[in-house]
Chains A and B, each alone.
Chain A
Amino acid sequence: GAVVSQHPSWVICKSGTSVKIECRSLDFQATTMFWYRQFPKQSLMLMATSNEGSKATYEQGVEKDKFLINHASLTLSTLTVTSAHPEDSSFYICSADSTSGGDTQYFGPGTRLTVL
Chain B
Amino acid sequence: QKEVEQNSGPLSVPEGAIASLNCTYSDRGSQSFFWYRQYSGKSPELIMFIYSNGDKEDGRFTAQLNKASQYVSLLIRDSQPSDSATYLCAVNKNTGANSKLTFGKGITLSVRP
Identify B43's interface contact among A31, A42, A46, A109, CB under 8 A.
A109
- A104 adjacent to B97 (CB under 8 Å): no
- A103 adjacent to B32 (CB under 8 Å): yes
Q: At the interface, yes or no: A78 with Cβ under 8 Å from chain B? A: no
**Chain A residue with the shortest CB-CB distance to B104:** A43
**Chain A residue with the shortest CB-CB distance to B106:** A43
B58: min CB distance to chain A, Å: 14
How far apart are the CA atoms of A116 and B95 in the complex, in Å? 40
How far apart are the CA atoms of A69 and B106 in the complex, in Å? 27
B56: min CB distance to chain A, Å: 13
Q: At the interface, yes or no: A106 with Cβ under 8 Å from chain B? A: yes
A44: min CB distance to chain B, Å: 5
Question: Which of B15-23, B44-52, B62-70 is the interface stretch?
Answer: B44-52
Q: At the interface, yes or no: B80 with Cβ under 8 Å from chain A? A: no
A83: min CB distance to chain B, Å: 26
Query: What is the interface size of chain A, counting residues whose CB is below 8 A from a CB of the partner?
Result: 20
Point out the residues of chain B lying under 8 angstroms from A105, CB to CB: 34, 46, 101
Known contacts A97-B99, A103-B99, A104-B34; decide if A43 and B43 are in contact (CB<8 Å). Answer: no
Mark each residue of chain A from 95 to 116: 1 if its CB lies under 8 Å from any CB of chain B, else 0.
0010000011111111000000
Residue among A34, A93, A105, A109 facing the most chain B CB atoms (10 A cut-off)? A105
- B99 adjacent to A107 (CB under 8 Å): no
Identify B100's interface contact among A43, A49, A108, CB under 8 A.
A49
How far apart are the CA atoms of A49 and B97 in the complex, in Å? 10
Q: Which 5 A-B pairs have the closest CB atoms?
A: A110-B43, A103-B99, A43-B105, A107-B43, A93-B43
* A positions within 8 Å CB-CB of B: 31-32, 34, 42-44, 46, 49, 51, 91, 93, 97, 103-110
